[in-house]
Structure formats: C-alpha cells, structure tokens
Chain A
Amino acid sequence: MIKRLFAFILLIFTSVMFYTIFSNTVQSTELKGVAKQYAARGADELGAQNLVTAIVVTYRGLDTLGEVAVLFLAATGVALLLRRRKEDEVLPLSEDKPKRQSSELLRTGANLLAPIMVMFGVYIFINGHLSPGGGFQGGAVIASAVLLLFLSDINYKINHTVFGLIESSSGVLYVVTGILGIFLAGGFLDNRILPLGELGSILSAGAIPVIYTLIGLKVGTELAGIIDNMRREN
C-alpha cells in the first residue's frame, strides 16, 4: 500500500535524523550554567534536600503553576465533553448486559487497601522535598486508590461536593501562597515565607511542603474526577 510506503520512508528519514543527533551528542562530564548554580546554591538558598523539588516548586515554580493549570483544563475538557445532555440520543449498545456486582472478597480487599494507598500517596507528597517523589506522584497514587475502588465496586460513587471543594480550595491556596511570596519574600512563589529549618528534617524548605501538599491534593482529586467522568459514560 502506498500509504504504508510513505510511512516507512518517513520513518527511515526520522531514523537518519536521530542517528545524526545521536552520533553528535557529547555526554557532558560536569554541570554547566544554571544547573551548576542550582546545585551549588539550592540547598543553602531554599533548604530543600531534593534539588529536583527545589527546581520544580521554587526556581521554576511558574512552570509548575502552568502545568497545574493545563491539568485542570484537561480535566475540565473531559468533564465538559462527557457530560450527559438529555437531547443527546446515544446509539444503544446491542451487547449491553446488566452489570454484575463483584465478589465480596474483592470488594473487602479493595476497601482495605484503598486507605493504605491514600496514606502512601500522602507520604509521597509530604516527603517531596526530602526524597524522590512529590505532589504529582503522590496525587497519582491517590487517584489510583480511587480507581481501585471504582474497578472493584460497580456502585461506588465519589462525593462530588467534597472532591470539588478540595480541588478548588487547594488551587486557590496554591496561588495565595505564591502571592504571599511577593510580600513576605523575594518574589512570586518564593518558598522563604516560612522558616527554612534544618536541611533534611520534615519541617524544612519553607513553603515547599505546603505547596507540594496542595498540588498533591489537587492532582489527586483532578485525576479521580477524570476517571469518574470516563466511568460514568459506560
């Protein structure tokens, strides 16, 4: 087929391009430029043990705010596209069968596991400034707990009022924390509005744990909302 041939030719050109890039890549042997500055000054300036977190939340905090906004837009888009209107006639599925409830064993196991998963997600985003992890990862773990409940119980429903409240209040508080940085510290999203504390302790790095907790709650509820919207469709 001619289309397949074109695709094949395109991929060969792409491969050649990648090979050229690859053969011209020189693996760096030392940190340069901005990365060097971050590595040398990050711990003293921001008090965060995990430098990636220091970059994500403070040095490039505005990027992260934009990232949260994109995620929020996507979640809103999913909800908007999948909302049910009465005048929409949906073609009936011929293979529709009544849903069967899953076994007692599975539901009990899932109910037992879900709180532990939420707790682990909270652990991940509270320790974001100390160890690998952070708000986005912890939020994804929380959403996977909700997904487990959805998969194991066909009648499971999330409380939309509580989820919406958590999502919107954590988003607003994130921006408020950022604006506080303008008045109390060096600029928007500066984490030094709270004392930096001792490097490596849980209450350190100023506002970074606060911001990551808010991001974790927001991402968790948002992803759970996306899952809920997609599930209600079927």
Chain B
Amino acid sequence: MNAVYVTGFALIIIGLWGMLTQKNMIKMILGLAVVETGVQLIMVAVGYIGGRTAPILDSAVPVKDAAEMIVDPVPQALVLTAIVIGVAVNALALTFVVKLYQKRRSLNITDYKDLKW
C-alpha cells in the first residue's frame, strides 16, 4: 500500500514541477493533469483496507458480512467525481490555450504579459 502512496506523492511533485518550470502552456496543463492523477491515487489508497475486496456485493461477499469484507467505498465515489471534474477543467483550460494561440500564434507563457505587473 505504501508504494501507492509514494507513487501518488511523486506524481504530485512531478506535476507541480512541470507547472512551475515549463513555459509551454500545454505542458503546464499536462502538469495539472499529472497532479490530479496523483491526488486521485492517494484518495483511493486512503480508503484501502488490507486483505479486503472491492465494494461489490456478489456471491463472494454476502450482504450480512459486507461491512467486514469490503474496502471503504466513499473515497472511491469521491474519486469518480474528481476524475470527471478534472476532465472538464482540463478541457476548459485547453480551450483557453487554443483561443490564446489564435490571437498571438504563441504557446509560450512569457509572451503574454498583459496581466503582468
């Protein structure tokens, strides 16, 4: 289980590094997507309980013993939401990049100084 935590934290740090150091706006958005993946991994890992199975009550998991046999279903439901919102945010961010590229023909963030002070 620790390996999943470490992978998640590593993904967050790699994504942050990408967002902070890259100049290309598409690469910055990809950094954000990598951070999202790391957060989702950690959220699923938080709900894991060693030796238990997925929260699906089929023939292997009788209903009356369910509470002793399954992992926590709540973080999984939250991650499902997080993934969908992540897709929506990424699509919107990429649309902004498309729009900016149409105006200036540049993907480099340093070419956009209008809001810089």
Q: Which residues of A line the B interface, CB within 8 A?
A: 3-4, 7, 10-11, 14-15, 18, 22, 25, 27-31, 34-36, 38-40, 42-44, 49-52, 55-56, 60, 63-64, 67, 70-71, 73-75, 77-78, 81-82, 90-91, 130-132, 134, 136, 140, 199-200, 219, 223, 226, 229-230, 233
Contact = CB atoms under 8 A, between A and B. Distances in A.
A132 B80 CA distance: 11
A49 B17 CA distance: 42
Q: Is the interface of B mostly helix, strand, loop or mixed?
A: helix
Q: Is the interface of A mostly helix, strand, loop or mixed?
A: helix
A163 to B, nearest CB: 16
A22 B9 contact: yes
A71 B92 CA distance: 10
Contact of B5 (A25, A55, A200): A25
B16 A14 contact: yes
B: interface residue count bin:
35 or more
Contacts of A50: 55-57
Interface of B: 1-2, 5-6, 9, 12-13, 16-17, 20-21, 46-50, 54-58, 63, 66-68, 70, 72-74, 76-77, 80-81, 83-85, 87-89, 91-92, 94-96, 98-99, 102-105
Contact of B91 (A28, A35, A74, A219): A74
A11 B16 contact: yes
A24 to B, nearest CB: 12
Contacts of A35: 47, 72-74
Given A28-B72, A71-B88, 18 more contacts: A10-B20, A11-B20, A15-B9, A22-B5, A22-B6, A27-B50, A34-B74, A35-B47, A40-B67, A50-B56, A52-B77, A60-B77, A67-B84, A74-B89, A78-B95, A90-B102, A91-B104, A130-B56
B85 A67 contact: yes
Contacts, number: 142
Nearest to B56: A50
B16 to A, nearest CB: 6
A1 B2 CA distance: 35
Given A27-B49, A28-B72, A44-B63, A226 B91 contact: yes
Nearest to B55: A51
Contacts of A219: 84
30 contacts: A3-B21, A7-B17, A10-B16, A14-B12, A22-B9, A25-B5, A27-B48, A27-B49, A28-B49, A29-B49, A29-B50, A30-B68, A35-B74, A38-B74, A43-B57, A43-B66, A44-B63, A50-B55, A51-B57, A55-B73, A64-B81, A67-B85, A74-B92, A75-B91, A82-B95, A130-B56, A136-B84, A223-B87, A226-B91, A230-B94
